[in-house]
Amino acid sequence: MKTAKLILDGKEYEFPVVAGSENEVGIEIGALRSKTGVITLDPGYLSTGSCKSAITFIDGDKGVLRYRGYPIEQIAESSATFSEIAYLLIYGHLPSTNEYDDWRRRLTLDSFIHEDMLKFFEGFPTNAHPMAILSSMMSSLSAYHLDSFEGGDMDHNIVQVLAKAKTIAAFSYKKSVGGPFIYPLTTLSYPANFLRMMFATPAEEYVVSPVLERALNLLLILHADHEQNCSTSTVRMVGSSHANLFASISAGISALWGPLHGGANQAVIDMLDRIVANGGDCKSFVAQVKDKKSSIRLMGFGHRVYKNYDPRARILKKVVDEVLTEIGVTDPRLDVAKQLEEIALSDDYFIKRRLYPNVDFYSGTLYHAMGIPPQMFTVMFALGRMPGWIAHWKEWHDDPNSRIHRPRQIYIGEEERTFVPMDKR
């Protein structure tokens, strides 16, 4: 076995070196503290792996993304549905026809939320952010479905999360516009059901645009998993305490909300709107981004892992043109986005830092073309990421060697001192 040597205070220590199926190499340092009394320190986990995983592979330098070994480009080009890819990520293989038919039937039949849960919406203010609603309603599902650690059925709970998330999301939009909730139809696909629940009214038949159904199907697939990103690591962390699936997914929703992570798609549209409003002056905006005194970032650009073009952004950039043309929409934001990309990709500031468009750079323009409001964009990311979060929670749950996540720290606070009673302070 290959090993790595560490020399500390003149003493030499050896640690095993592991290699993954794509030859990623890691030094197993679990015994470091017991052998040496010291720990590693890696804020932000720039060089720290938290687990071995067989779900998704990313090569950031080459811009490679594969779900269970299948390249994202092949999946995007195929006729695969989001629920089919969700099955692949969660159970590890592409479903047979029978497996798929049963999976789809369960996902549509279980799309309804308990009628008592409708009352929860009455408590939210009309302007409540839909991510707040989604995370709290997701956690509340644990009150209706027995946890698999308490004897409940994990596969049943997995279906509840996937099937009900889109219903809660659509209902949170209807709540924000004061519209009546539209119930799912078991005859529609996941994306078509969602679009209908978002935009239909009881007053007339709503026909889902096949172009938008296909575009949403692709958007959901492209967001479905991304190895140990911030929100997925959160789901694993929370699940490692044997918290139930609903509570773990709810924590992932909260982590995704941040503008540095899933909240970036809403931040991108706000950024594009600001540039359009000031006459489309991309050059001066990029100058502000490069000015270290400004805290302005080019949202939708940069990535901890991709130091090349995010393959998802490349796919979306192609599709967004096709969709807008097919539905006869022009969007000044898209022109601005393309100008920003062109300027940034030839500017040394971005080249030196290897900053490229990421999945969030173009997704908002597509969501907007579907009529989805910016406040719902991060919810759309969460709907896409549900299968990935579930797959990682299950992978941790199924591994007999999994342990609760409990990182160490380097203490830099006060040294020991004597407590001072109130009357002596």
Catalogue the active-site residues: 303, 360
User: Closest distance between ligand SDX and the C-beta of residue 423, in Å?
Assistant: 47
Residues 352-371: x where in contact with ligand SDX by CB under 6 A, - otherwise, as a string:
-x-x--xxx-----------
- If binding is defined by CB under 6 A, does position 142 make contact with ligand SDX? no
Q: Which amino acid is at 275?
A: I
Pick 44 or 328: Cβ nearer ligand SDX: 44
Among 57, 67, 301, 367, binds ligand SDX (CB under 6 A): 301
Among 289, 313, 369, 382, binds ligand SDX (CB under 6 A): 289
Among 35, 114, 242, 297, binds ligand SDX (CB under 6 A): 297
User: Closest distance between ligand SDX and the C-beta of residue 301, in Å?
Assistant: 4
User: Closest distance between ligand SDX and the C-beta of residue 218, in Å?
Assistant: 15
**Number of chain residues interacting with ligand SDX (CB under 6 A):** 21
- If binding is defined by CB under 6 A, does position 302 make contact with ligand SDX? yes
- If binding is defined by CB under 6 A, does position 242 make contact with ligand SDX? no
User: Closest distance between ligand SDX and the C-beta of residue 234, in Å?
Assistant: 11
Options 212-220, 239-247, 302-310, 397-405: segment touching ligand SDX (CB under 6 A)? 302-310
- If binding is defined by CB under 6 A, does position 269 make contact with ligand SDX? no
Burial class of residue 98 in the structure, from the number of CB atoms within 10 Å of its CB (0-12 exposed, 13-18 middle, 19+ buried): exposed
Among 68, 129, 174, 303, binds ligand SDX (CB under 6 A): 303
User: Closest distance between ligand SDX and the C-beta of residue 233, in Å?
Assistant: 9
Residues 206-235: x where in contact with ligand SDX by CB under 6 A, - otherwise, as a string:
--------------------x--x------
Options 125-133, 183-191, 203-211, 294-302: segment touching ligand SDX (CB under 6 A)? 294-302
Using CA atoms, how far residue 36 sits from 3, 13, 26, 378, in Å, is: 16, 8, 19, 44
Options 15-23, 136-144, 296-304, 322-330: segment touching ligand SDX (CB under 6 A)? 296-304
| 3-state SS, one letter per residue, for the chain | CCEEEEEECCEEEEEEEEECCCCCEEECCCCHHHHHCCCCCCHHHCCCCCCCCCCEEEECCCCEEEECCEEHHHHHHCCCCHHHHHHHHHHCCCCCHHHHHHHHHHHHHCCCCCHHHHHHHHHCCCCCCHHHHHHHHHHHHHHCCCCHHHCCCHHHHHHHHHHHHHHHHHHHHHHHHCCCCCCCCCCCCHHHHHHHHHHCECCECCCCCHHHHHHHHHHHHHCCCCCCCHHHHHHHHHHCCCCCHHHHHHHHHHHHCCCCCCCHHHHHHHHHHHHHHCCCCHHHHHHHHHCCCCCCCCCCECCCCCCCCCHHHHHHHHHHHHHHHHCCCCCHHHHHHHHHHHHHHCCHHHHHCCCCECCHHHHHHHHHHCCCCHHHHHHHHHHHHHHHHHHHHHHHHHCCCCCCCCCCCCCCCCCCCCCCCHHHC
Question: 65: which strand partners?
Answer: 58
- If binding is defined by CB under 6 A, does position 307 make contact with ligand SDX? no
- If binding is defined by CB under 6 A, does position 299 make contact with ligand SDX? yes
User: Closest distance between ligand SDX and the C-beta of residue 9, in Å?
Assistant: 32
- If binding is defined by CB under 6 A, does position 65 make contact with ligand SDX? no
Q: What is the largest CA-CA distance in the chain?
A: 79
Supply 395's token pair: 């992978």
Pick 208 or 315: Cβ nearer ligand SDX: 315
Residue 52's region, left for phi above 0, alpha for psi from -120 to 50, else beta, is beta
Enumerate residues 87-106 that contact ligand SDX by CB under 6 A.
none
User: Closest distance between ligand SDX and the C-beta of residue 59, in Å?
Assistant: 13
Q: Which amino acid is at 226?
A: H
Among 298, 336, 369, 370, binds ligand SDX (CB under 6 A): 298
Among 261, 307, 338, 397, binds ligand SDX (CB under 6 A): 261
- If binding is defined by CB under 6 A, does position 260 make contact with ligand SDX? yes
- If binding is defined by CB under 6 A, does position 33 make contact with ligand SDX? no
List contacts with ligand SDX (CB under 6 A).
44, 226, 229, 260-261, 264, 289, 297-305, 353, 355, 358-360
